[in-house]
């Protein structure tokens, strides 16, 4: 039985449209479904249409190449759409001129647009062409402007600064005077920096001064590069004097120090950046099976893993360990039987999909039965049943809500298939060290270090071509031995 709805003669029934878009890289369909759920719950199923764009990049494709957007535009032009719900402007398009055309279309056909994002600061749709046309740009620009103003304010008026006393007058204006003891130490720091003769010498300066100033080595480097200590802010080669800040060192001494240390700082910075996240996977001692301890270098050199167990002391440089780890992870990826992984994942998804479809079929039958029951009621019985908690009408609405939820879950399962294709393709093309490093904790469960060998437990053993992996590792070991000989 199909339900019918009475409409006023001469009035064309319009629909509400829910548009969602996800690219393969951004798996946020669940977020968009959750965001528009509260709006869908207020509508009957026959009153709205859901358009899902899966695996569609608005950066790469123009609107005429996007099937669902073409359908939406066609519906709007034929006056079928009353309201459009979409997560935010970027789900419609990322191209400015395309967005202007959409604004014209919405205004011409009186389509009400609602953004479902829960970000309270996100600007709602505005029918004014000028305001809406520039809103996306203004939001981005405003965010960047706030960040710039905040950085500028903090640079000129920090809440605190090493070596300074911060004063505030009755009007809230800040001024900064040097602390006597710290001033002497800081002047000595800039003086010593002018005598540095190499990046190792510079590293030693940072370590020694860190001890004297009771700061970290990186903090000392930041002080040396902060023009606040010469009472200025710096724009390129130009120094702008800050009248509210006492000079601890002169501009001349600041510049002399930088003539010496600038090139050395870049070397130290590169080393520090390289070591910041150098621990890819914590190794375990092969003898006691405990996790080995990591000790970070003070000057940006490679750290060390060590374990002093009762049996034997194991120690290795993180750089060497990472090199071995990345190499074996690459070998493992090359030995993965991706077809097996994809097939098993597809089977699991298809099984869940079948369960969902069966459940939808059962609920649809229940809905049809309830509709028959309601249709058979007399007007008096129908009116009375509306006030009963377990009435057929209540059960009907609950069943429809449940079917909506299951259809959403079914949609997510379909999206998982799209994402799975992307992931499998991505894994099969893992070539850069950065990509492999990111995947290591998901590929290698544990790595046990002995004096001469390493023992690794891999995930996904059932999908590995073990013979091929062993052959590659054996070949690598033989090559290493020959090089050593």
Of the residues 254, 276, 298, which one is the last residue of a structural domain? 276
Query: How far, in Å, CA of 241 to CA of 230, rounded?
Result: 8
Token pair listed for 244: 């509210």
Query: How far, in Å, CA of 264 to CA of 277, rounded?
Result: 22
Given a contact cutoff of 8 angstroms between Cβ atoms, the answer to whether 125 and 114 are in contact is yes
CATH code at 104?
A: 3.40.50.1390
Mark whether 374 and 398 lie in a shared domain. Answer: yes
Of the residues 276, 297, 316, which one is the last residue of a structural domain? 276
Mark whether 349 and 212 lie in a shared domain. Answer: no
Mark whether 134 and 177 lie in a shared domain. Answer: no
Mark whether 269 and 287 lie in a shared domain. Answer: no
CA-based nearest residue to 272, from 362, 350, 347, 207: 207
Instruction: Report CA 292 to chain centroid distance, whole Å.
Output: 30
pTM of the model as a whole: 0.45
Mark whether 256 and 304 lie in a shared domain. Answer: no
Mark whether 305 and 249 lie in a shared domain. Answer: no
Please give the residue that has the higher pLDDT: either 100 or 449: 449
Mark whether 175 and 115 lie in a shared domain. Answer: no
Structural domain count of the chain = 3
CATH code at 186?
A: 3.90.1750
Q: Is residue 10 part of a domain?
A: no
Would you tell me how many other CB atoms lie within 10 Å of the CB of residue 434?
10
CA-based nearest residue to 280, from 472, 431, 428, 434: 434
Mark whether 318 and 465 lie in a shared domain. Answer: yes
Is the model's pLDDT at 387 over the cut of 90? no
State the average pLDDT over residues 129-155.
60
Q: Is residue 396 part of a domain?
A: yes
Q: Is residue 161 part of a domain?
A: no
Q: Is residue 188 part of a domain?
A: yes
CA-based nearest residue to 257, from 234, 235, 231, 227: 227
Of the residues 251, 276, 301, which one is the last residue of a structural domain? 276
Per-residue pLDDT tens digits for 254-294:
999 999 998 888 776 665 555 555 677 889 998 888 888 88
Q: Residue 316's domain spans which residues?
A: 282-485
Instruction: Report CA 63 to chain centroid distance, whole Å.
Output: 26
Q: Is residue 471 part of a domain?
A: yes
% of the chain at pLDDT higher than 90: 28
Mark whether 322 and 414 lie in a shared domain. Answer: yes
Per-residue pLDDT tens digits for 435-471:
677 778 877 889 999 888 888 888 777 887 777 777 7
Per-residue pLDDT tens digits for 321-377:
888 888 888 888 777 787 887 888 888 888 888 999 999 999 999 988 988 887 787
Mark whether 472 and 324 lie in a shared domain. Answer: yes
State the average pLDDT over residues 207-234.
89
Lowest mean pLDDT, pick from 36-50, 195-209, 369-383, 471-485: 471-485
Mark whether 353 and 478 lie in a shared domain. Answer: yes
Q: Is residue 6 part of a domain?
A: no
Q: Is residue 2 part of a domain?
A: no
Q: Is residue 163 part of a domain?
A: no
Mark whether 329 and 385 lie in a shared domain. Answer: yes
């Amino acid at each position: 039985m199909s339900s019918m709805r009475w409409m006023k003669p001469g009035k064309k029934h319009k629909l509400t449209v829910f548009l969602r878009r996800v690219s393969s890289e951004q798996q946020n369909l669940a977020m968009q479904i959750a965001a528009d759920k509260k709006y869908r719950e207020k509508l009957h199923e026959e009153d709205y249409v859901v358009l899902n764009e899966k695996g569609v990049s608005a950066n790469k494709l123009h609107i005429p190449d996007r099937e669902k957007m073409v359908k939406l535009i066609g519906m709007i032009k034929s006056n079928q759409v009353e309201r459009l719900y979409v997560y935010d402007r970027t789900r419609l398009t990322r191209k400015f001129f395309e967005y202007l055309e959409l604004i014209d279309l919405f205004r011409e056909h009186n389509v009400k647009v609602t953004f479902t994002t829960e970000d309270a600061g996100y600007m709602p749709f505005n029918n004014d062409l000028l305001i809406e046309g520039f809103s996306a740009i203004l939001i981005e620009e405003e965010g960047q402007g706030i960040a710039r103003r905040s950085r500028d304010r903090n640079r000129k008026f920090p809440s605190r600064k090493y070596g300074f006393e911060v004063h505030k007058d009755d009007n809230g204006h800040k001024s900064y005077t040097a602390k006597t003891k710290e001033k002497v130490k800081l002047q000595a720091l800039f003086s010593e920096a002018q005598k540095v003769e190499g990046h190792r010498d510079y590293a030693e300066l940072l370590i020694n001064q860190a001890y004297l100033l009771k700061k970290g080595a990186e903090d000392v480097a930041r002080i040396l590069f902060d023009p606040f200590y010469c009472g200025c802010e710096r724009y390129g080669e130009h120094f702008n004097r800050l009248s509210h800040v006492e000079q601890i060192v002169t501009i001349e001494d600041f510049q002399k120090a930088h003539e010496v240390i600038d090139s050395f700082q870049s070397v130290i910075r590169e080393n520090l950046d390289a070591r910041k996240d150098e621990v890819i996977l914590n190794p375990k001692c092969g003898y006691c099976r405990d996790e080995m301890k990591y000790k970070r270098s003070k000057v940006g050199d490679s750290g060390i893993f060590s374990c002093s167990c009762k049996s034997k002391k194991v120690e290795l440089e993180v750089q060497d360990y990472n090199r071995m780890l990345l190499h074996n992870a690459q070998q493992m990826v090359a030995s993965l039987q991706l077809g097996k992984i994809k097939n098993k994942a597809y089977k699991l998804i298809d099984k869940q999909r079948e369960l969902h479809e069966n459940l939808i079929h059962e609920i649809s039958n229940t809905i049809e039965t309830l509709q028959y029951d309601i249709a058979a009621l007399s007007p008096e019985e129908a009116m009375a049943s509306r006030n009963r908690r377990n009435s057929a009408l209540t059960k009907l609405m609950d069943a429809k809500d449940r079917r909506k939820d299951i259809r959403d879950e079914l949609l997510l399962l379909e999206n998982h298939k799209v994402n799975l294709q992307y992931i499998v393709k991505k894994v099969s093309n893992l070539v850069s060290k950065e990509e492999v490093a990111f995947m290591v904790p998901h590929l290698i469960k544990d790595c046990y270090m002995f004096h001469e060998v390493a023992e690794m437990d891999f995930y996904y053993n059932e999908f590995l071509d073990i013979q091929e992996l062993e052959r590659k590792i054996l070949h690598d070991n033989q090559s290493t031995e020959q090089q050593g000989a």
